[in-house]
Structure 1
Amino acid sequence: MRALHDLGKMEIGTLEITTVILVALVPSVLYILWIRNTEICKREPLFLVFLVLFFGLTAAFGIAFVIENSLVYLLFENSSLLNRFLWGVNGPNPEIYLFILAVIIAPVVEEFVKASGVFLVYRRLAELEDGMIYGAASGLGFAAAENVIYFGDALLAGFEVFLVTAILRTLTSTVLHASSTAISGYGIGKAKLFRQIGRRSRWLQYVILAVVVHGLFNFFAILGMIFSQGMEIYFAGLLASFAIATIAFRIMRLKIREFDTMFLSQRD
């Protein structure tokens, strides 16, 4: 997640701001409609789906921003005894800083915060796929807010940079946010439904799995920046991140369809 003060320095007009917001928001809306419509029987109400997406766009992003920046300040950007104990007088090198921020702090904070959006509609979770759909909605709302920051920054560097950034993030990180939080949503829904029939299932393990998937995605995305051994490593990392996001998204849709088919067969 990029710092919001970077966006504040941008000297762009109303048209550019509107473009950035639309390019960030429209893909998330289209993705969630696609995911919701994967379910044939008893589709989730659009109002609730977009309510959770709005939560991800606003509250989840805001909470994660505050927590992440507080942790960064505590661990890296002050002269406290803790900071000196961890990194010494000179602080951590840039590669360690980037790794901890992208692979540990961001996935942990963001996945737990995004998962909280599913609890807004906890009473509505009547099927295994319901939690996945609402989880994806929360993740996509979060992705849209995050993309506003990245796209605005990219637009300052030129239209070509903006276009490439928009395409890459729409196909990778946006998809990843939907898929990872769908894992958490599945766990939350499963725990509720299993409790109703006297069986035990813990949702925490699914949030942890979402953190792992998110962390792997981020690790490969920054691989070239950590090792700095040529463009081959950079592009290999991006390809691996794309594969993780794409596979996770496909599995999510297949599972939604599978659970929905199970419901249809039971009804017949």
Structure 2
Amino acid sequence: MFPITIENIFIDYSRGWCMVSDDPEDSIDDREQYDVTTWEERTRLDHLAVRASGFIGRWWVFLAAVIAILFAAHPLGAVGTELVQYPWLGGVMVLSLVGGLLIVWYIRRINPTTVSRKALVVTFLLGGAFAGIAILVEGSLQSIIDHIPLIGTALTLLLVVGPVEELVKWAAVRLYAFERSSFRTALDGALYGAAAGLGFAALESSEYIARAVAQGSASDPALSLAVGGAIGRVPAVPLHVFLTALAGYYLGLAKANPESYAPIVIKGLLIAAVLHGIYDTLVTYLPGVVGLVVAVVYVGGIGLLLYKKLSRYQQQAPSDGSPAPTTAGS
């Protein structure tokens, strides 16, 4: 008989959950290797782990979106409050996105491959939902860095706002669209990236316009406040779309060249984050109309950079839409 010890009680209690199969067809060698150097589904705990992984695999995008929406509850609430009072604000908010919509349409038009409309819509929605995460992270870090004398604001824009926003927009692409079979090339990545950037810009722009109306005085017409807010978003919306399209381009290039995945992805994120931080710094420190003009020219330059990269890709990509050689995105 075995002595009654804590160890034996535990083994007896967990026998049905963790004990290796007693199937006589299993060789002794297999039983010795199981859960040491090999693994297969044998015990109840194994069955539970397999089912849990299957559930997470099917629903993790939905769960991530729900969590992100919870973070975005405050800006969504602010937008909803103003829309209830001024329903026409919805039209102004949509008009502020026209530039970004045209960019997405253009990239879709030049893409020879067939992409999933569902994946585009999901990526757009994830981009908007993840904006709430960016707002929370930026607010937390900004309260610390802004206290640095003279350069605190610039450091926040360059080291926090740019990197955080580009990372969450990139995550909106990586989380869902990247895993779809329709995501094959750098051009696919640029398209899905543009969709994520547009989603992010949609929430940010709507919240910005709603706040402009809410903070206005009673004597200021709501329409003029809304239009003023929308004008301020003219360069910002294309900026988000261009930058995430660039990061998405490199993500697509990385998928086509998996042996260099990490360096390619990091390069794309660094380019997007640095360009974003410079833009925010310029519009923050340059006054009024001057800042707006500089912002438009700067964003136009980024658009030209993206256009040249996509054109170069088109020239080198195979006619069947399969991934182009690595040199196309260097």
TM-score, normalization: structure 1? 0.75
CA contact (8 A) 2:193 2:248 kept: yes
Pair 1:138-2:196 in alignment = yes
Q: How far did 1:21 drift?
A: 4.3
- Secondary structure of the equivalent of 2:264? coil
> What residue is the counterpart of 1:235 in the other structure?
289
CA contact (8 A) 2:92 2:227 kept: no
In 2, Cα distance between equivalents of 1:203 and 1:184: 7
Pair 1:50-2:113 in alignment = no
> What residue is the counterpart of 1:219 in the other structure?
281
Any idea what the Cα deviations from partners look like across 1:40-92, whole Å, max 9, x if unmatched? Answer: x114232222221111111x11211221122234x16xxxxxxxxx94xxxx5
* Higher relative contact order structure (alpha carbons within 8 Å, sequence separation ≥ 6): 1
> What residue is the counterpart of 1:162 in the other structure?
226
Structure with greater Cα Rg: 2
In 2, Cα distance between equivalents of 1:127 and 1:202: 13
> What residue is the counterpart of 1:245 in the other structure?
299
CA 1:110–1:13: 2 relative to 1, 3 Å: same
Pair 1:115-2:115 in alignment = no
Matches within 5 A, 1:202-217: 202-217=264-279
In 2, Cα distance between equivalents of 1:111 and 1:238: 22
Q: How far did 1:17 drift?
A: 4.5
CA contact (8 A) 1:129 1:255 kept: no
In 1, Cα distance between equivalents of 2:154 and 2:121: 33
In 1, Cα distance between equivalents of 2:83 and 2:116: 40
Gaps of 5+ in 1: 77-85, 225-232
Aligned residue among 183, 197, 200 for 1:125: 183
> What residue is the counterpart of 1:69 in the other structure?
139
Letter in 1 for 2:316: M
- Secondary structure of the equivalent of 1:202? helix
Q: How far did 1:223 drift?
A: 1.7
Higher helix fraction (1 or 2): 1
Letter in 1 for 2:198: L
CA 1:264–1:168: 2 relative to 1, 3 Å: farther
CA contact (8 A) 1:223 1:234 kept: no
- Secondary structure of the equivalent of 1:15? coil
CA contact (8 A) 2:96 2:233 kept: no
> What residue is the counterpart of 1:180 in the other structure?
243
In 1, Cα distance between equivalents of 2:310 and 2:151: 38
Alignment size in residue pairs: 238
> What residue is the counterpart of 2:60 in the other structure?
none
Gaps of 5+ in 2: 1-73, 322-330
In 2, Cα distance between equivalents of 1:155 and 1:27: 22
Letter in 1 for 2:163: V
CA contact (8 A) 1:132 1:252 kept: no
Q: How far did 1:110 drift?
A: 0.4
> What residue is the counterpart of 2:49 in the other structure?
none
> What residue is the counterpart of 1:150 in the other structure?
208
Letter in 2 for 1:18: G
In 2, Cα distance between equivalents of 1:53 and 1:44: 14
RMSD after superposition:
3.1
Identity of aligned residues (%): 24
Q: How far did 1:23 drift?
A: 3.5
In 2, Cα distance between equivalents of 1:24 and 1:239: 17
- Secondary structure of the equivalent of 2:113? coil
